[in-house]
Amino acid sequence: MEDEADLVAAEDVLLFVNAAITSTGQREFHSGVGEQGLSLDFLHRYLLGNYRDLYAAALALDVNDHNAALIIHNLLLTAREAKDLRAEGRLIARKLETLPPQRVYRLFRELRRAKVNNRRTRAIMRDWLAGRPDPAFEAVKYRSGFKGAVRHIHLRPQGELGAFLFDPYRGGPYSTPILNSWLRAHYEQTAIYQLPYTVAEGFAAKHGVKRSTFLEGIAPRLTRLERLRLQESGREAKVEAVKADLSMMPLTRLASYALALGPAERARRHDELTGALRAAARRCAGGLTGSWGAVTAVLDDSFSSSGSAQKRRRPLAVALACHYLLEALASRYTPLWLSGRRDPLMVRPYGATPLGERILDALETGPERLVIVSDGWDNSPPGLAGEVLRVWRTRLDPARACAVVHLNPVYDAADFDVRRLSPSIPTAGIRDAENLVALVELAGFAEGRTGLPELRAHLARRVSDFLEDRT
C-alpha cells in the first residue's frame, strides 16, 4: 500500500508540474479563461495542502513565470504552515532573481492587496529590492510598482530616490541622470530619448513626436526583445536603427516572431530566419549537439496549433522551435509534420490531426528516439495514435529500444493535465523549447514505474543545481 501511495503522490506532483509549465490561465484552443483559471487554482491549492515541500521545490523546475509567481504568493500567504521556512525562503529568493522585474512588482502588488505583510515577506521584498542593479532605472521604468513595494515594507529610500518616488516635482533637478531626464521630459523633447522605451513612448505621445522620429531616437535604448517586437513597425516607418540581431534571440520567441510574419515575408527572408533559428538552437543544445543519435519528430501543425487570441500560434511556435532544437541534438534527424510540409519555416495551422498515421511513418524510420510535439487531440481517426503506441510498446518494442516521449504545449483544463496519447508512453508539458532536454528527463517519471522517493531525489538535485546556479 505504501508503494501505491508513493506512486499516487508522484502522479499528483507530475500532474501539477505539467500544469505549471504549460498553463498561464489564459484561453486555449479547447478551453476558456474561466476553465483554465479554476483548474489551475485547484491544482495549486491541492499540492500546497498535501505536498508543501514538493510544491516549493517546483520553483526549481521549468514552471512558467505566471505559476512561479502564484507559488511564491501562496507560500508567503500560508507561512505559518511551513515546516522549513529557511528552505522555502532560499527557493523564493532565488526564483525572484530569475523573474522579469515587472512580474515581481506585480507579485508584490498582489501580496499587498492580500494584506500579506509578515516579517518574512518584508525581508524577502527588502532583500530583492536591495539587490537590484540599478534602483533609479527601475524607479523610473516601474515607478508605481517600485513605490508600492517600498511602501508595503515600510521602507523610505534616502536621498533623491525617496524624493523622486514620493514628491518627484519638488525634488528636482536631480543629480542622478535618469531621474533628471524624467523630470525634463515633461517639457523637453530631447530628454525622452534618455529614458526606457516604455516610459519614453508615453512622453513622445504627449509631445506629439512623429513615430519614425521617435523610433530613430530611442533605438539605442531598446532591449533585445523590444527590438524584436518593434521590427515590423520600424520597417514600416523605414527606421533601420530598430533592426534586431535575430541570431541572438531566444529560440521559442524567435519562432513566434517568424510565424507572425506573412508567408510572403517568410519566403523572402527564408535564409535569414532559418539561419537565426539554427543558431539559437545550437546555443540551446550546447555540449549535447549531435549526442541524441537517430531522432524522429512528429510535429503538430493542425488547426488547433493556432492557439487562441491570447496565445496566438503558441503551440505551433513551440513545435517549430522544438524542430530546430531536435535537429541540433540529433546525429540523424527526420522531421514529420502532420500536414506533410517539408519546409518548417512555411508551416501554418491547418487541417485535422492525423497523429496515428504520422507516428506509424515515424516508427518506420527506425529511430533511437521518437519525440511527439502535439496538443494530443488525435482526431483523424480518433484514438489511432494511442493504439499504435500501445501495440508498439507492448508487442513490437517491449525492451524499449526506441525511447518515445510526448511533449504537449497545451494544458487541458477539464482533465487537470496536459492531454496524453497513451498510458504506455511518458507525457510532459512544455512551454519553451529551451527546456526540452530537462523535460524529456522529467517525463520519464510519468510512466508510472517510478515512485515518490526517486522523484524526490530528482527534485532535490534540481533544487541544489538551481540554488547554486548564479549565471
Going from the N-terminus, what domains does the chain have, and what CATH number goes with each?
Answer: 185-244 (no CATH), 252-449 (3.40.50)
Query: Would you place residue 56 in the very low, low, confident or very high pLDDT band (cuts 50, 70, 90)?
Result: very high
Number of Cβ within a 10 Å radius of residue 390: 15
For 467, list phi and psi in degrees, rounded to 5.
-70, -25
pLDDT in tens, 281-305: 999 999 999 999 999 999 999 998 8
Q: If you ran DSSP here, which 8-state letter would residue 428 be given?
A: E
Q: Is 403 left (phi over 0), alpha (psi -120 to 50) or beta?
A: beta
Q: What three-state secondary structure class fits 383?
A: coil
The pLDDT, as a whole number, for residue 448 is 53
Mean pLDDT over 5-13 rounds to 76
The pLDDT, as a whole number, for residue 124 is 94
Cα torsion angle, 65, 32, 421, 384, sign: negative
Q: Given a cut of 90, is residue 6 above it in pLDDT?
A: no
Q: Given a cut of 70, is residue 143 above it in pLDDT?
A: yes
Q: If you ran DSSP here, which 8-state letter would residue 22 be given?
A: H
pLDDT in tens, 19-40: 898 887 666 665 666 677 788 8
CA distances from 466 to 58, 258, 331, 460, 469 (A): 11, 31, 30, 10, 5
Mean pLDDT taken over the chain: 88
The pLDDT, as a whole number, for residue 296 is 97
Mean pLDDT over 153-175 rounds to 85
The pLDDT, as a whole number, for residue 1 is 39
The pLDDT, as a whole number, for residue 449 is 53
The pLDDT, as a whole number, for residue 45 is 94
Number of Cβ within a 10 Å radius of residue 422: 22
Please name the residues in contact with 187: beta carbons below 8 A apart, sequence gap of 6 or more: none
The pLDDT, as a whole number, for residue 234 is 65
User: How many residues belong to the chain?
Assistant: 471
For 237, list phi and psi in degrees, rounded to 5.
-85, 0
Q: What three-state secondary structure class fits 411?
A: strand
HEC per residue, 238-270? CCHHHCCCHHHCCHHHHHHHHHHCCHHHHHHCH
Report the alpha-carbon angle 411-412-416, nearest 5.
95
Number of Cβ within a 10 Å radius of residue 366: 12
pLDDT in tens, 380-407: 788 898 899 999 888 888 888 898 999 9
The pLDDT, as a whole number, for residue 446 is 64
Cα–Cα dist 375/23, whole Å:
12
The pLDDT, as a whole number, for residue 99 is 95
Cell of 269: 527572408
Q: Given a cut of 80, is residue 310 above it in pLDDT?
A: no
If you write DSSP's letter for every residue of 72-83 in order, what string do you get? HHHHHHTGGG-S
The pLDDT, as a whole number, for residue 415 is 67
The pLDDT, as a whole number, for residue 422 is 87
Mean pLDDT over 130-152 rounds to 93
Please name the residues in contact with 139: beta carbons below 8 A apart, sequence gap of 6 or more: 146, 147, 161, 164, 165, 179
* Closest to 199 in 3D by CA, of 156, 168, 243: 168
Q: How far is CA 342 from the centre of its chain?
A: 28
* 372 membership: H or E segment, kind and range: strand 369-373
Mean pLDDT over 79-98 rounds to 92
Number of Cβ within a 10 Å radius of residue 435: 21
* Closest to 344 in 3D by CA, of 365, 366, 325: 325
The pLDDT, as a whole number, for residue 442 is 78
CB-based contact 89:120 (threshold 8 Å): yes
Lowest mean pLDDT among 76-80, 96-100, 220-224: 220-224
CB-based contact 85:79 (threshold 8 Å): yes
Query: Would you place residue 236 in the very low, low, confident or very high pLDDT band (cuts 50, 70, 90)?
Result: low
pTM (predicted TM-score): 0.87
Q: What three-state secondary structure class fits 275?
A: helix
Mean pLDDT over 434-460 rounds to 78
Kind of pairing, strands 403-408 and 427-429?
Answer: parallel
